[in-house]
Amino acid sequence: MTKLTACRSHAQLQQHWREIADVQMTDLFAADPQRFSRFSLQECGILLDYSKNRITEPTLGLLFGLAEELDLPGWIERMFSGEHINITEDRAVLHVALRNDSERPIQVDGEDVMPGVRGVLERMEQLSAQIRNGDWKGYTGQTITDVVNIGIGGSNLGPLMVAEALRPYWQDGLRVHFVSNVDGTHLSETLRELDPARTLFIVASKTFTTQETLSNAFSARAWLLQALQDEAAVASHFIAISTNREKVEAFGIDAAHMLEFWDWVGGRYSLWSAIGFPIAVAIGMDNFRQLLAGAHCMDEHFRTAPLAQNMPVIMALLGIWYINYFGASSQAILPYDQYLRHLPDYLQQADMESNGKAVTRDGEAVDYRTGPIVWGTAGTDGQHAYYQLIHQGPHLIPCDFIAPVNSHNELGDQHYKLISNYLAQPEALMKGRSAEQARAELTRAGIGGERLELLVRHKTFPGNRPSNSLLLEQVTPASLGALIALYEHKIFVQGVIWGLNSYDQWGVELGKELANIILPELKADRTGAEHDSSTRGLIDHFLQHRRPG
Ligand code: G6Q
């Protein structure tokens, strides 16, 4: 396997970086009135403006060359054709099959998976309709008003993010809640206001072995049974979503109330599968199918568009440019839409669990940076918190600004105010403020002498800070589906450039194993000898101060 640093284009990009590193974007804009149209494109209801990046046509040419050299087109083909590209777990990676509403068959190990996918969608349609129209009755014959999804990681963040993003599509009188944390507070606070007779739990776990999810599921069952006083009530109040039928039945959930999915759906790519059931309950199956259709639109664009007009490829390569040539280590996701407030958390998992790795598919240590630290919050809150560092700190932090043209909640001129901020921040990051501008402004304000010179240094913004701007017509099921798929494919492309397997997550194992050693010690009120003095000291302190629960 060729490593990034062994590529001819890599050496060329390093040389090109030396030539361009000090070029100001403001000069590039001044020299080219067509820069916006040259460096923007529209696909599947999303406008991507990437003109405020430190790039020229030759930069992109070299980046596309790098992608060709590392056989990106071949890898795209391998993913879509169901090859086992998740080599450490020996699995195909086929979340694209879950939204394939074309007639194209998709094979895994010689079998077309599409009939199974369509079958589960139909089951989701029936069950979600029953819950929404009141045909699904709780044990005491009452209709369901509250659905609580119990899951964590990939079985929580996607459904949570999408359900919250699509709140305008929720049915009145039916609420969906999400519980993930093993901290009993999460479940307790969620259940505090709910009526057991009108509450339905969805236990979402690919493996059905996850400690947090099973603990919360058992506690939820105990809460239900305490109120309804009959084991038989479980059948009317629990649905399971899993790949593990045996474990679901062992928990006591009727197989008729189980929705299945498959091992070729990675946890953090699973919101399109039965894991998306709470979304379907909240917004209805027609809207859920729109979400899938939006993602499918982006899949088809990604699969068929030439690299130079391919939105996920362009976004991925811009990230590579900053991470591997400018030395950036972080990526901010800044949605200017309250409904999209969980998007940064969702993308944090999607990106960091996929590409937070330092070993190539062949098992070689990388000698270059890989996945960035992904973070952010909904605008404009971040502006009053950490934007200071993005504007004037020493770090280069590429930012993705995301906003809808139309709001679901037009209050006076608030949407114009929101969007003026969405537009102003990338402009300010790019233009900055020179010492001369700062001096002129301060002089106009009557400030002079030493104080003037001091303030000039504080009020100068370096500028030349890169960003992408994405505009959706509105946050709808279809545009959201396309947006998520855009990022999924961006992450895939970056994984290919870095030579990683983006679809395993061994890094989460060690902590789990150690927690399993510590748990019995805590319960037995003793400290194991094999721990380091720090861990031992902390356990001792905990046990000494623990009050009986
Ligand atoms: C995602 C990860 C991880 C997983 C959770 C929950 O890609 O694999 O976040 O989704 O650990 O796992 P279960 O769905 O098996 O409970």
Mean pLDDT computed over 164-191: 98
* Tens-digit pLDDT profile for residues 511-539: 999 999 999 999 999 999 899 999 999 99
Nearest to 76 by CA among 514, 456, 493, 531: 493
Span from the CA of 208 to the centroid of ligand 1 (angstroms) = 10
**pLDDT for res 275:** 98
For residues 403 and 337, the answer to whether their CB atoms sit within 8 Å is yes
Copy the structure tokens of residue 192. 């505090």
> Tokens 């299945």 belong to which residue?
260
**pLDDT for res 106:** 95
Q: How confident is residue 254, by pLDDT bands cut at 50, 70 and 90?
A: confident
For residues 203 and 238, the answer to whether their CB atoms sit within 8 Å is yes
Nearest to 397 by CA among 472, 329, 489, 497: 329
Q: Picking from 35-44, 254-263, 457-466, which range would have the lowest pLDDT averaged per residue?
A: 254-263
For residues 94 and 113, the answer to whether their CB atoms sit within 8 Å is yes
**pLDDT for res 511:** 95
Residue 548 has pLDDT above 90, yes or no: no
| Ligand 1 lined by 267 (C-beta under 6 Å) | yes
| Ligand 1 lined by 86 (C-beta under 6 Å) | no
Q: How confident is residue 136, by pLDDT bands cut at 50, 70 and 90?
A: very high
* Tens-digit pLDDT profile for residues 62-74: 999 999 999 999 9
For residues 430 and 464, the answer to whether their CB atoms sit within 8 Å is yes
| Ligand 1 lined by 153 (C-beta under 6 Å) | yes
| Ligand 1 lined by 266 (C-beta under 6 Å) | yes
Mean pLDDT computed over 285-309: 98
Copy the structure tokens of residue 16. 């090109």
The side-by-side arrangement of strands in the sheet containing 40-43 is: 40-43, 46-49, 467-472, 399-404, 330-335, 373-375
- Sign for the CA dihedral angle at 146, 183, 223, 259 comes to positive
**pLDDT for res 155:** 98
Distance CA 359, CA 23 (A): 34
* Tens-digit pLDDT profile for residues 234-252: 999 999 999 999 999 998 8
91 forms bridges with which residues in the sheet?
Answer: 86
pLDDT above 70 covers a percentage of the chain that reads 100
Active-site pick, 193, 384, 458, 545: 384
Residue 446 DSSP symbol: T
| Ligand 1 lined by 196 (C-beta under 6 Å) | no
Span from the CA of 154 to the centroid of ligand 1 (angstroms) = 5
**pLDDT for res 431:** 98
**pLDDT for res 1:** 83
Mean pLDDT computed over 321-331: 98
Nearest to 242 by CA among 272, 273, 288: 273
Copy the structure tokens of residue 452. 């003037």
Span from the CA of 135 to the centroid of ligand 1 (angstroms) = 31
Residue 255 has pLDDT above 90, yes or no: no
* Tens-digit pLDDT profile for residues 204-234: 999 999 999 999 999 999 999 999 999 999 9
Let me know if 300 is a catalytic residue: no
The mean of the pLDDT values for the chain is: 97
Span from the CA of 32 to the centroid of ligand 1 (angstroms) = 47
Copy the structure tokens of residue 356. 């937070």
Name the 3-class secondary structure at 127.
helix
Name the 3-class secondary structure at 2.
coil
| Ligand 1 lined by 353 (C-beta under 6 Å) | yes
Q: Where are any strands of DSSP class E within 51-121?
A: 107-108, 111-112
pLDDT above 90 covers a percentage of the chain that reads 98
Let me know if 353 is a catalytic residue: yes
Q: Which of 180, 206, 248 to mutate to test the pocket of ligand 1 (most atoms within 8 A of CB)?
A: 206
Span from the CA of 268 to the centroid of ligand 1 (angstroms) = 7
Q: How would you classify residue 432: left for phi > 0, otherwise alpha for psi between -120 and 50, otherwise beta?
A: left
For residues 311 and 41, the answer to whether their CB atoms sit within 8 Å is yes
Q: Helix axis angle, 57-69 relative to 311-320, nearest 10°?
A: 100
**pLDDT for res 151:** 98
Residue 549 has pLDDT above 80, yes or no: no
